[in-house]
Structure 1
Amino acid sequence: MLDSLPAISFDQLSGFDAQDTLVLTVNNRHARRVLAELSASLGGDRRVIAVPDIIPLSAWLRRLSDRLSFLPDSGMAGHAIDAFGARLLWQRVIERAESDRALLDTAQAAMLAMEADRLMDDWRIEVGPDHETSDYLRFEEWRARYREALAELDLEDANQAHEAVCAALRAGRLHSGARHIVLSGFTELSPRLAAMLAAVQERGGSLWALSRPPVAPHAAHRVAAPDPDAEWRLAAHWAAGELRKNPDGRYAIVAGRLEADAALAHRCLRAALGADAEGRHIPYNVAVARPLSGWPLARAALAWLRALALAGRGRPCRPEDLGGALLAGGCAGHAEEAAGRAVIDAYWRHQAVLAVRPKDFTALLGRHAPRLLEAWQACMAELDGDGAPAGLDVWSDRFRRYLRCLGFPGRGMLDSHSFQVLEALDAALERMAAQSAVAGKLGFGAAVGLLRRLVDETPFQPQRDPSARLDVLGFLESEGGRWDAVWILGLTDEVLPAVPRPNPFVPLPAQRRANAPRATPERELQWARGMFRALLECAPQVWLSHACQEGERELRPSPFIAELDAEPFSPPGAAAGSCMLESLRDDLGPALQPGRPTRGGIGVIDTQARNPLWAFARYRLGARRLSAYADVGDQNARGLFLHRAMELVWRMLPDQAALRGLVGEGRLDGLLHGVLEQAADDCLSDYGPALRRLESARALAVLASWLEVECARTPFSVRDVEQDYLWRHGPLELNLRLDRIDELADGRLAVIDYKTGGGSLDPRSDWMRDRPIGLQLPFYASVLAQESAGAGVGALVLARLHAKGAEVKGLADAECGLEGLVSPRAWPAFAELGWEDLMARWRRTIHQLAREYISGHAANQSLRPDDIEYCDILPFLRLNEDDKRVE
């Protein structure tokens, strides 16, 4: 039908009666283009004309549906639902139908079922008994239940409204609204749409196809890029060069996978386009919408509503729920109290807070964000009486009221994008209110969850910058556009033609018979031919590119460009003479000043040995990754619990003799139960009863296993438990805490460090290095023991406390009775060293590391890559930019 329509030019269109003419386009973007080109087509003798209606097809269908609803006996339902409401209802129907069967993703099934429902009606697909599949039969069951639910709730979705409009037009009960209907941008018509337009013709209407003079490319160039990243860089440099040559020209980059490549596109374009004389980025438009929830103001509104829903119950909240709102801002004191809100969030993270009580939250707000406290308390007062379930229309009004009480969106001038986000968010609240008939009555938390889902699924893109001369679009968005030159990238045989994706709920033979979209390779090839032809008509100069490799996967060019010879493309300025790149190596910071407090303890020396720049940034600059929110199942909590239990045991028992006495009298279990109860109170207060019992039972087994090892040792007494020490070296002062120090039978000391993790316990590779790491035990043995009064150290013991069994590793020069300790001579690097020689060697190394730190030495060097495996400021080190720095 589309090919048989008479063509009409812009000049002829401007001569039609605007009141009786309707231009239908494929989408809003195309409608704006038609309007702009209609205006540009006016000659000098015609400055002003009456413009006909230029609207997308979807808007025309909604207009006809509204008009039909006012007709007597229209049969229309009392309420219309949009795609979001329809998907909610589909999901509810499927969940009920599949309650006794395992269906992993009902949301995905609902989306595919809704598409199948529209596809079958749009393309008049009929499924014969021979082609029915089990998936199709289940879909038919869902479809019947879905339509029953619509009728029961007196609802109508867009697909049913479209069908009703089609029937009314064919029956002559509804008028199209215009005598002349002009189609623009359509490459095909579905059977249902063709039937509607045929009914318009039968009632005396005329149909036309808007023709635009094709732009035959003067030149089409093919470029083969090494990989997708290089392809984007070439396209960006091309655009920058074209804009420099002709700043008033209009150019476009068209990408087959623009949504996936949006971040890469922005990065390449900003680097290539640069800035103008005033330092502002050269403007460009990227036609990619991202979810509304990804924009700061929308994210802030959702975060505050979730925080209110949780806090309104009067029970403790998780720090991450309140912290998300505090960091998002958009509230009273948005800018003035931003630092204070961040301090609250950081406090919860560093203190490993698992739950925040309402009174604690208000106390923190009072200290750090008094303006927000006042707004928060006013909002909590608004919540009184609003706890009962209500319809979404009620919750929509309540949400607006709560946000106003909180001072949303914060004081200050809103830029254009922020203002548009607020408008889109308000529209989303209106859409949410319209789903009341589907969702029924919901509680506060459920209503917030549904709003979040709606905002997650609502695409948003700010309006186009009218000053931009460069457009970056996808294939569909570019259709019908006109530019001075176009670069089309991503033209591989996987993109054009694309791989078919038939709907899984409609049998493939039925889709093939109806020639439904995306159903077969032939159908995709047909669509790709039309799209490629349209792309070539976008500009007189067209560059066609593809990548040759993606990772280890070889890519092939699209068959539409494979016969063109690949041409080399050099970015503008590439032929210019090369210049020497100057570099400055700056790895020395200011020296440590006396009297300045030093952050950290033994970690300063250990980190200096691993990577001096890491030590400087962490302890001198205070740079560190923000801690994650505490988790009740955090392994560190288990380690703290076991350390605390061992501390309590050896504070009660002075020596091995006392331990053996308890074992002989059968009283050790009683002591361990009491110790674990106290340790659990100190470290597991946020655990539930069941988890606390499990952790205590595990710890009982671990402690009993380790104490068996302690009983079998040679005699010892406990000298210190969890004792703090201070070490000074020039202006450097470090605090050190040791798990335990035992006095052996010969008067020397054994330093013990507990390990509760499951990693390697053997310190051999760490301690034998020229710059040793894991330094806590060597540090004490070689430095602190020498500088303090008393006996020397005779053993360095790493003890693993684990459910899989006790384990000991380390070095010893005295008899301890612990299997796993060896003499230093057993290690190759220490084979020629006596015990005192080893202590002196370590002492020199530690003093050298301390002097490095004091002097400000901050070289970005590591001996082994795994030295910085747990570095929390890796982006600061920027090692990915120069692999030579890890030597």
Structure 2
Amino acid sequence: MVTSGAGQTTQISGLSTQILDPESLFARLRAGNTLVTGNSRLARVLTSQYSLWRIGLGDCQWESPAIVSWNLWVDQLWENAGLRGIEGADRAEPGNRQLASLWENALQNEPLAHRLLRPESLVSQLRDTRKLVVEWQLDLQDPAWFGSDNENHSSFSRWNRAFERLCEAGRWISPEDRLELLNKAIGNGLLSTSPVIDLLGFDEFNPLQANMLSALIDNDSKVCRLTITPRNDKAVLFKCADNRQELLNMARWVRYWVEKEPGSRIAIVVPDLQARRQAVEQNLQDILTPGCDDGIQQAKPWNFSLGIPLMRVPVIGAAFDLLKMLDKRIDIQDVGRVLRSPWLRGAAAERNNRALLEKCLRDNYPRQLTLNEVKYRATEIKKHDSRHNELPPEEWEPTSWNCPELGLVLRKLARFERENRGSRCASAWAEAFDQLLAELGWPMAAERLEDHDQIWQALQKWQEALRELASLDATTDRMHRKTAIGHLQQVCREKIFQERTAPSPVQVLGLYEINGLRFDHLWVLGLHNDNWPPAARPNPFIPGSLQRAARTPHSSPQRELEVARTVTRRLLETAPDCIFSYPAQLDGEKVLPSPLLPFEDLPPGDALYSLPYDTWCQVVARAARPVVGPLDSPGRLVHDTARGGSSILKHQALCPFRAFASNRLGADSLATPVDGISPMLHGSLVHRVLELFWQEIKRQSALLALDDESLCKIVQKHVELVTSEDRGLRLRPSFRGVEAERVQRHVMAFLELEKQREAFEVTGFEKEILPEIEGQGIRLIIDRLDRLPSGEEVIVDYKTGKVDPNKWFGDRPEDPQLPLYAISAEKTPAAVVFGVIRDDGCHYKGVVRQDGILPGLPKAGKRDLYLDEAGREMPKTIGTWREVIHRLMADFLAGEAAIDPKSGLKTCDNSYCELQSICRIGELDQRGKPAGAVPHQETSS
């Protein structure tokens, strides 16, 4: 007879109970008893401890103890049943992915399947629901399934019938159905087990488990439920300010005991371990192994019971990044991960070239690109000069981002994509993916995997994942490549990777994994009144009345309270030294300790040990003021290694440190591609069309002689040529068409403005000049030079963005590009202007020597009065510009690198400076000094 109550000892006739110490437990194992544990972790720990016990007895060899988890024990019984030919045991048990596939098929065959947006997302919950129904022996014929207003109940009943029909047709047996067959076989005397069975680590037994234990007892097996002797001496309740402080105190406490008692066993229990794993590990690393590099293979003194999805292991993620390259469109972020991956052929040798390749792709393509575009750039040969003129073949040379090894990889990917567009069975795809990745040099083609234990273990799991994919032959039809990759991804999301490491003194466990284990010191995190006891979470697919009547897990607040009391009591018995901590506030709301913690029995938190261990962050934070010391000047630029033309002067004016970092060190951020056409690409297309147009037309008189239709045709001709020159647009016809219309519209609007000018002739197209400023050569490209009838010249620079000529002036001009053009001209220009080409209108902005040269200039109004005066005194203005520009260049060449933005942090924000993490101007500003006046000889250390 069986009776059970959640959170209480299950009453099974003939089941004995016993409390014993570990030595007595090991003696029972030596006598030949079988020990069945509640989870596999407890089985592994006890196996290891048993070996140490036998060594302590002086034994040199012994038989492996019969310690198995419940699930493994059932697997062994099922295998024996199959060998004995027991009826029903010949059915195949589906693997995880096969089982999911059967459920997906059951959903797809339902009449209402079209109402489900993602049937596969239901599968995991439906599997858990059926397991609960079978193990707790809920009656699927009960009227509650159909009398409820909740459609989920009747839907599950219908889906379950469809699932069972599929299992029957395919001769499958779901894992939860095996126990019923085993119970019958044991009850009929057809299946025998060990004569003595000990149970450890069970808080309760579900009805199906209880029936099996009763059947064993009825067939003369001795079954005993064991409990390890409690070890509790004291417990401490510790209140922390918040979650961060709680984790930091925990890590300090762990270090205290690791150093004081090196051989002690320490446990950390985290209720929401999956959500907080990263934070817990970061704090342990900061305190126990400060300064250690994550990338260095080293033994950590802690171990997590919770593994991570195989998909999150870096080497496996790299494999899927490669498979993503087979998609029609690839996100630049995915491409970047492939280029930076250390798991790919040629990664070390081509590291610098691949970094430049990513920059090239980000600068020249939208966010979504194709495999052929990446392949083209990776193998690109420079065949044209900077003016788009074709070079003779003998002058062709690889680009700086040319990557031959990567090109080989991409060609193999492209060939695989072309040759594998049809459908195949799952096993064929598994074999194809395995062969493809091996050909691509994944993983670590040039290194011995045996030297990287974690990678080796991950690859064993990867092979298991491929076998699971191949097993879908039994439950699915032929599938396309993308579907097969999706199945493989799902397998790797569900498959947990737990790295096998040497025994660690510190164990990090979930709340329900502690049963049966004993430690010397225990810290339980985060048991507060909002989460302990936890809220009830009844299964949404099972009628609530059935769940409450059967007292299934999470079915009611009363059951959760009983289970929480049991778990709390078990925690208190786990170690002689226990600490229960909780944060005083969460998300700004005050919280209290869990009401299940016995306040009257716990000393106050002040009794906690003195824990002086600090991270380097805390040492710096507690300092009275940041440590400031002299910074040696980087010194004069000796070699001609500066990067950039007018940007050198622009950055030196905005902030000397920015010029040093960007133009001497090359500290530039990567561009962030956008979906569609970037503003930079649009601007370059407009520039190129206008260049070709004026090369053909040359004079304004020729422009005025054209009628509208002829003008439109000429512009359209050049637009089509320019947009076809861009490879990214050529391979995207829809983008190309839209952008061609926009460029045509903008160029036509600007030419209407050009018609309003006095007569001119275009004498310079994208003119290259190489002036020297303070001995430093600079390469400049002037968009256009116009000659007026008087012989004077007009400098025109096209702009498709917002511009302000007022930024040309002052001791630190924020935009010195056109002033630099002006001082480099052979003679004083009559005008220096931006040709603004935008949707909101086309116009000129800049300075002119007199009225009538350009429409709209000089402008009237106080704001533009300075520009008017500067234009009328052009020689003086150019002299001032020359003086300022030479001074800025002299400062740059001398190594002037002050952290001195022109208008403090406002300049940093307005100019989108991304160097603040290097110069740390925010910290300097917090010292009370104006950010714009930071002395160049000091920096925060």
TM-score calculated relative to the size of structure 2: 0.80
Which of 720, 735, 741 lines up with 1:677 in the alignment?
720
Q: What is the distance in 1 between the residues matched to 2:506 and 2:268?
A: 8
Shift of 1:18: 6.4
What residue identity is the alignment partner of 1:780? L
Partner secondary structure for residue 47 of structure 2: helix
Which of 87, 93, 101 lines up with 1:88 in the alignment?
101
Partner of 1:298: 316
Q: What is the distance in 2 between the residues matched to 1:635 and 1:147?
A: 58
Residues 595 and 297 of structure 1: CA distance in aligned 2, closer, same or farther (over 3 Å): closer
Residues 177 and 18 of structure 1: CA distance in aligned 2, closer, same or farther (over 3 Å): farther
Q: What is the distance in 2 between the residues matched to 1:360 and 1:277?
A: 41
Q: What is the distance in 1 between the residues matched to 2:655 and 2:153?
A: 62
Q: What is the distance in 2 between the residues matched to 1:765 and 1:231?
A: 55
**Given the alignment of the two structures, is residue 187 of structure 1 paired with residue 203 of structure 2, yes or no?**
yes
Shift of 1:681: 0.9
Residues 786 and 730 of structure 1: CA distance in aligned 2, closer, same or farther (over 3 Å): closer
Q: What is the distance in 2 between the residues matched to 1:431 and 1:530?
A: 38
What residue identity is the alignment partner of 1:850? M
Q: What is the distance in 1 between the residues matched to 2:373 and 2:697?
A: 38
Partner secondary structure for residue 736 of structure 2: helix
Partner secondary structure for residue 486 of structure 1: strand
CA RMSD, 1 decimal: 4.4
Q: Is the 8 A contact 1:740 1:751 kept in 2?
A: yes
Q: What is the distance in 2 between the residues matched to 1:533 and 1:155?
A: 42
Which of 489, 493, 513 lines up with 2:525 in the alignment?
489
Q: What is the distance in 2 between the residues matched to 1:147 and 1:431?
A: 21
Partner of 1:242: 257
Which of 668, 689, 707 lines up with 2:711 in the alignment?
668
The range that moved more, 183-192 or 336-345, is 336-345
Residues 709 and 496 of structure 1: CA distance in aligned 2, closer, same or farther (over 3 Å): farther
**Given the alignment of the two structures, is residue 545 of structure 1 paired with residue 581 of structure 2, yes or no?**
yes
Matches within 5 A, 1:15-94: 16=28, 21-39=33-51, 47=59, 50=63, 52-72=65-85, 74-76=87-89, 78-94=91-107
Partner of 1:196: 212
**Given the alignment of the two structures, is residue 593 of structure 1 paired with residue 632 of structure 2, yes or no?**
no
Residues 701 and 876 of structure 1: CA distance in aligned 2, closer, same or farther (over 3 Å): same
Shift of 1:213: 0.9
Which of 415, 435, 439 lines up with 2:472 in the alignment?
435
Residues 839 and 69 of structure 1: CA distance in aligned 2, closer, same or farther (over 3 Å): farther
Partner of 1:859: 898
Q: What is the distance in 2 between the residues matched to 1:841 and 1:288?
A: 69
Residues 101 and 418 of structure 1: CA distance in aligned 2, closer, same or farther (over 3 Å): closer
Partner of 1:604: 648
| Unmatched segments (≥5 aa) in structure 1 | none
Count residues with an aligned counterpart. Answer: 870
Q: Is the 8 A contact 1:284 1:465 kept in 2?
A: no
Q: What is the distance in 1 between the residues matched to 2:363 and 2:83?
A: 63
Shift of 1:861: 4.4
Q: What is the distance in 2 between the residues matched to 1:144 and 1:257?
A: 35
Q: Is the 8 A contact 2:113 2:119 kept in 1?
A: no
Partner of 1:849: 888
Partner of 1:505: 541
What residue identity is the alignment partner of 1:7? T
Partner secondary structure for residue 211 of structure 1: strand
Partner secondary structure for residue 648 of structure 2: helix
Q: What is the distance in 2 between the residues matched to 1:708 and 1:135?
A: 67
Partner of 1:516: 552
Residues 573 and 14 of structure 1: CA distance in aligned 2, closer, same or farther (over 3 Å): closer
Q: Is the 8 A contact 2:156 2:541 kept in 1?
A: yes
Matches within 5 A, 1:209-608: 209-225=225-241, 227-274=242-289, 283-304=301-322, 324-325=337-338, 327-330=340-343, 335=348, 348-349=361-362, 352=365, 354-356=370-372, 389-409=423-443, 410=445, 411-412=447-448, 413-466=450-503, 468-550=504-586, 552-561=588-597, 563=599, 565-567=604-606, 571-572=611-612, 583-585=627-629, 587-608=631-652
Q: What is the distance in 2 between the residues matched to 1:587 and 1:798?
A: 43
Q: Is the 8 A contact 1:487 1:544 kept in 2?
A: yes
Q: Is the 8 A contact 2:379 2:403 kept in 1?
A: no
Shift of 1:808: 6.2
Partner of 1:157: 174
What residue identity is the alignment partner of 1:461? Q
Partner secondary structure for residue 649 of structure 1: helix
Partner secondary structure for residue 109 of structure 1: helix
Residues 176 and 666 of structure 1: CA distance in aligned 2, closer, same or farther (over 3 Å): same
Residues 228 and 832 of structure 1: CA distance in aligned 2, closer, same or farther (over 3 Å): farther
Partner secondary structure for residue 372 of structure 2: coil
Partner secondary structure for residue 98 of structure 2: helix
Shift of 1:212: 0.6
Deviations 1:45-104 (A, max 9, x none): 685765542222222222233333445462357532222322233234434547774433
Shift of 1:677: 0.8
Partner of 1:622: 666
Partner of 1:133: 150
Partner secondary structure for residue 435 of structure 1: helix
Q: What is the distance in 1 between the residues matched to 2:472 and 2:175?
A: 14
Deviations 1:686-741 (A, max 9, x none): 34333322222233333333434444456555454433333422243333334345
Residues 360 and 662 of structure 1: CA distance in aligned 2, closer, same or farther (over 3 Å): closer
Identity of aligned residues (%): 24
Q: What is the distance in 2 between the residues matched to 1:735 and 1:589?
A: 27
Q: What is the distance in 1 between the residues matched to 2:302 and 2:868?
A: 68
Residues 99 and 851 of structure 1: CA distance in aligned 2, closer, same or farther (over 3 Å): farther
Shift of 1:439: 3.3
Q: What is the distance in 2 between the residues matched to 1:814 and 1:688?
A: 47
Q: What is the distance in 2 between the residues matched to 1:844 and 1:219?
A: 77
Q: What is the distance in 1 between the residues matched to 2:286 and 2:159?
A: 51
Q: What is the distance in 2 between the residues matched to 1:441 and 1:567?
A: 66
Deviations 1:238-281 (A, max 9, x none): 22222222223222332233333333333322221246999978
The range that moved more, 521-530 or 807-816, is 807-816
Q: What is the distance in 2 between the residues matched to 1:273 and 1:322?
A: 36
Deviations 1:349-402 (A, max 9, x none): 566485437985896799877778889999999999988644333444444444
Q: Is the 8 A contact 1:18 1:51 kept in 2?
A: no
Q: What is the distance in 2 between the residues matched to 1:231 and 1:125?
A: 43
Q: What is the distance in 2 between the residues matched to 1:488 and 1:881?
A: 37
Which of 849, 856, 863 lines up with 1:826 in the alignment?
863
Deviations 1:555-582 (A, max 9, x none): 4433334946443865326899998888
Q: Is the 8 A contact 1:588 1:856 kept in 2?
A: no
Partner of 2:164: 147
Q: Is the 8 A contact 1:703 1:801 kept in 2?
A: no
Q: What is the distance in 2 between the residues matched to 1:325 and 1:834?
A: 53
Partner secondary structure for residue 791 of structure 1: coil
Q: What is the distance in 2 between the residues matched to 1:223 and 1:673?
A: 74
Q: What is the distance in 2 between the residues matched to 1:85 and 1:326?
A: 35
